Amino acid sequence: ADIDRVVRDFGSAAWRAREGGLDGVEIFASGHLIDSFWSSRTNRRTDGYGGSLANRVRFAIEVLEEVRRRVGPDFCVGMRLQGKASSQRADDPGWGLPGAAHDDLSHEECLQIAEMLAKTGMLDFFNVNAGAVDTDNRLASAIPSMYGPLAPQLEVAAAYRQFGLPVLHACRIIDLSTARRAVSDGLLDLAGMTRAHIADPHLVRKLSEGQEERIRPCVGAGYCLDRIYVGQD
Q: What is the pLDDT of residues 96-152, one digit of tens each?
A: 444 445 557 888 999 999 999 999 999 999 999 887 776 777 777 777 778 778 888
Burial (CB count <10 Å: 0-12, 13-18, 19+), residue 185: exposed
| CA-wise closest residue to 34 among 60, 68, 52, 61 | 60
Q: What is the C-alpha to C-alpha distance for residues 129 and 154, in angstroms, rounded to an integer?
A: 9
Contact residues for 176 (Cβ-Cβ < 8 A; gap 6+):
203, 207, 212, 215
Segment 69-76 mean pLDDT = 97
How many Cβ atoms are within 10 Å of 59's Cβ, its own excluded? 24
User: What pLDDT score was predicted for residue 56?
Assistant: 97
The yes-or-no answer on residue 32 being catalytic is yes
Segment 31-56 mean pLDDT = 93
Q: Percent of the chain at pLDDT above 90? A: 67
Q: For residue 167, what are the CA distances in angstroms to 90, 172, 204?
A: 17, 16, 21
User: What pLDDT score was predicted for residue 232?
Assistant: 66
Q: What is the C-alpha to C-alpha distance for residues 224 and 233, in angstroms, rounded to an integer?
A: 9
pLDDT-wise least confident of 25-29, 88-92, 113-117, 199-203:
88-92
User: What pLDDT score was predicted for residue 67?
Assistant: 98
Coil vs helix vs strand at 147: coil
Chain centroid, CA 103 distance in Å: 20
Composition of the chain by helix, strand, coil, percent to 5: 45, 10, 45
User: What pLDDT score was predicted for residue 101?
Assistant: 52
Contact (Cβ atoms closer than 8 angstroms) between residue 39 and residue 81: no
pTM here is 0.86
Count CA within 13 A, CB hemisphere, residue 44. 2
User: What pLDDT score was predicted for residue 84?
Assistant: 76
